[in-house]
C-alpha cells in the first residue's frame, strides 16, 4: 500500500474499541484534525497545521505519519531542529517507509550537512537504485573517493553512466594516477581555446565538487557567452538561477534543457525535478511544466506525467497529483492505487466508483479495487451494487487485515442502507474480532 492508503486505513480502520459508534466518533475527530492540518499546510499556515497535527498526536502518539507531517511543516518553516526530530521519530516508528527517510534527507540537504546525509542516502538506495548518483555526489563532496568509485562501478555494471558520473569517474581515475584536476590547467585551456565546450564543463564540475558555487556559476555564464549553442551550460544555470530565485532566467534555462536533444535523459530528469520543486514554491511556473512535458514523451519506460503526479502525491498536494495522474496513459497497479486513493481522499466517490469498476476488468483478482468500487457506491447510496462488489472482492483478500477491516466497515454501511440486520451483525462481529488482533 502507498503512504496515504496505509495511513487512511490506520486512522479509519484500526481502532480497538468494540462499540462502532465510539469508533466513528474517535475517527471523525482524528480525521477532521488531519484534514485540517493538510488544508492549513496547503495554504502555508504551517503553525495552524502543526497545532492540528499535535491534536492528532495526542490521540495516536506513535503514528509515524503524524510525525512525518510535523516534519514537513517544520521544514517549511526552516525549523530544522524540530523537523529533524519529527522525521527521526517517523523513521524510528516505521523504518520501511521511504518518504520518512526522504524527509530526513531534505533537512540535511538544505543544511548542506553532507556527512549526515550519507547514511540516509545509503538507506534510500535500498528503496531506489537511482539514489546511487546522489550517494556518489555526497562521497565526492566529502572526499571519500574510494567509496564513490565503488558505487560508480556498480552503476556502470548495470547500465550507462550519465555525464555527471562519467566526470566523477574521470576525476577519480586522474587522482588514482596522482594527477589531480588542476583548475589552472583548465583555465589556461579555456583561454587558449574558448570555443571548446568540454573544458568549461570540466571546470564547472571541479568548482562544484569543491563547493565553489559562485565560480562554477561564473564559468557556466562564460560558457553560455562563448558558445551560445551550448545546452550543457543551462544544466548548471538552472540550479544557479533557482538559488538566486530568478524565476525568469531559471525558466529560460529549464526550457532550454527540456527541449535539448543533446542532453542525457537522466540529466534532463534531474533538472526537471529541480525546477519542479522550485515551481511548487512559485505556482505560476507550473504552466511551464505543462508546456514542456511533451519533450519527455519519447523516453521509453518513463511516464513523466505519472512521475510528476507522484511528486505532488508525496507532497500531499492531491489536487495537482490528481491533475497529472489523470493525464497518465499508464494503467499499472501503482498508478491505479494512487488515483483511486486520491479520489477517496478528495471524496470524489462517483469518479472513484466508475474508475474502480473499470479497473476490475483489468485486474479482476485485486481485492482493493472491489473495496473502492463498494465504498464509492455506498457513498452514492447504491447499497445493493456496493454489496455485490464486496461479496465478490472479499474472496480475493489474502493476509491484509487493514483491507479486511475496510471491507467489514463497508459491509456494515451496506447493511444499514439495505436494512439487513443479519448482515450487519455478521460483519460487526468480524470487525470486533479483527480490531482486537
For the stretch 370-401, pLDDT in tens is 999 999 999 999 999 999 999 999 989 888 88
Identify which of 358, 424, 365, 431 has the alpha carbon closest to the alpha carbon of residue 394. 365
The pLDDT of residue 141 is 81
Among all chains, which residue has been given the C-alpha cell 463497508? 410
- What is the reported pLDDT for 5? 39
The predicted pLDDT at position 9 comes to 39
pLDDT > 90: percent of the chain: 39
Q: What digits encode the pLDDT tens for the residues 137-185?
A: 898 888 788 898 889 888 877 777 887 888 888 777 766 654 455 788 8
| Assigned fold of 1-111 | 1.25.40
**Which has more confidence, 172 or 46?**
46
**Helices then strands (H, E): number in the chain?**
25, 0
CB 180 within 8 A of CB 174: yes
What 8-state DSSP symbol labels residue 25? Answer: H
pLDDT bucket at 331, cuts 50 / 70 / 90: confident
Cβ neighbours of residue 69 closer than 8 Å, sequence gap 6 or more: 34, 37, 38, 41, 49, 53, 316
Task: Say whether pLDDT at 335 is over 80.
Answer: yes
Q: Start-end ranges of CATH 1.25.40.10 in the chain? A: 1-111
Q: Is the dihedral of CA 22, 24, 27, 32 positive or negative?
A: negative
What number is the average pLDDT over the span 302-308? 82
Three-state SS at 15: coil
181 secondary structure, DSSP code: P
Quote the pLDDT of residue 415.
Answer: 94
Question: Which ranges in 227-332 belong to alpha helices (H)?
Answer: 232-243, 247-259, 265-281, 286-292, 304-314, 318-327
pTM: 0.54
Task: Indicate the SS3 state at residue 356.
Answer: helix
Give the pLDDT band of residue 327 (cuts 50, 70, 90): confident
How large is the average pLDDT for residues 61-79?
A: 92
Could you report the per-residue pLDDT of 105-135, keeping only the tens digit for each? 999 988 888 888 999 999 998 888 888 999 9
- For residues 322 and 324, what is the distance between their CA atoms, to the nearest angstrom? 6
Does domain 348-437 match CATH 3.30.70? no
Per-chain mean pLDDT for the chain: 85
Amino acid at each position: 500500500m502507498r503512504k496515504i492508503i496505509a495511513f487512511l486505513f490506520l486512522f479509519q480502520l484500526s481502532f480497538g474499541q468494540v462499540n462502532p459508534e465510539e469508533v466513528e466518533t474517535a475517527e471523525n475527530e482524528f480525521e477532521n484534525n488531519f484534514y485540517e492540518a493538510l488544508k492549513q499546510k496547503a495554504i502555508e499556515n504551517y503553525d495552524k497545521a502543526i497545532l492540528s497535527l499535535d491534536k492528532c498526536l495526542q490521540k495516536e502518539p506513535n503514528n509515524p505519519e503524524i510525525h512525518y507531517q510535523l516534519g514537513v511543516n517544520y521544514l517549511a518553516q526552516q525549523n530544522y531542529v524540530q523537523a529533524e526530530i519529527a522525521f527521526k521519530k517517523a523513521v524510528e516508528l516505521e523504518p520501511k517507509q521511504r518518504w520518512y527517510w526522504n524527509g530526513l534527507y531534505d533537512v540535511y540537504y538544505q543544511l548542506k550537512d553532507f556527512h549526515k546525509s550519507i547514511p540516509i542516502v545509503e538507506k534510500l538506495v535500498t528503496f531506489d537504485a537511482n539514489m546511487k548518483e546522489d550517494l556518489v555526489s555526497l562521497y565526492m563532496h566529502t572526499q571519500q573517493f574510494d567509496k564513490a568509485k565503488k558505487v560508480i562501478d556498480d552503476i556502470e555494471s548495470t547500465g550507462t553512466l550519465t555525464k555527471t558520473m562519467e566526470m566523477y569517474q574521470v576525476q577519480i581515475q586522474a587522482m588514482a594516477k596522482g594527477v589531480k584536476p588542476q583548475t589552472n590547467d583548465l583555465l589556461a585551456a579555456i583561454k587558449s581555446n574558448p570555443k571548446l565546450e568540454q573544458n568549461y564543463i570540466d571546470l564547472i564540475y571541479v568548482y562544484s565538487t569543491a563547493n565553489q558555487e559562485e565560480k562554477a556559476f561564473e564559468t557556466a555564464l562564460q560558457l553560455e557567452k562563448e558558445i551560445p549553442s551550448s545546452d550543457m551550460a543551462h544544466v548548471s544555470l538552472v540550479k544557479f538561477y533557482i538559488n538566486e530565485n530568478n524565476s525568469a532566467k531559471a525558466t529560460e534555462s529549464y526550457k532550454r534543457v527540456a527541449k535539448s536533444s543533446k542532453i542525457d535523459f537522466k540529466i534532463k530528469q534531474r533538472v526537471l525535478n529541480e525546477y519542479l520543486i522550485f515551481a511548487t514554491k512559485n505556482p505560476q511556473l507550473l504552466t511551464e511544466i505543462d508546456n514542456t512535458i511533451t519533450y519527455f514523451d519519447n523516453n521509453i519506460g518513463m511516464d513523466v506525467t505519472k512521475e510528476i503526479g507522484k511528486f505532488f502525491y508525496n507532497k500531499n498536494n492531491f489536487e495537482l497529483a490528481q491533475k497529472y495522474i489523470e493525464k497518465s496513459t499508464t494503467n499499472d497497479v501503482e498508478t491505479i492505487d494512487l488515483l483511486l486513493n486520491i479520489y477517496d481522499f478528495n471524496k470524489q466517490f462517483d469518479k472513484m466508483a466508475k474508475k474502480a469498476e473499470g479497473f476490475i476488468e483489468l485486474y479482476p483478482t485485486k481485492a482493493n479495487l472491489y473495496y473502492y468500487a463498494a465504498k464509492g457506491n455506498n457513498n452514492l447510496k447504491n447499497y445493493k451494487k456496493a454489496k455485490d462488489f464486496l461479496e465478490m472482492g472479499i474472496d480475493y483478500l489474502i493476509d491484509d487485515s487493514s483491507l479486511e477491516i475496510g471491507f467489514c466497515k463497508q459491509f456494515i454501511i451496506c447493511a444499514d442502507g439495505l436494512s439487513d440486520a443479519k448482515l450487519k451483525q455478521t460483519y460487526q462481529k468480524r470487525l470486533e474480532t479483527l480490531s482486537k488482533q
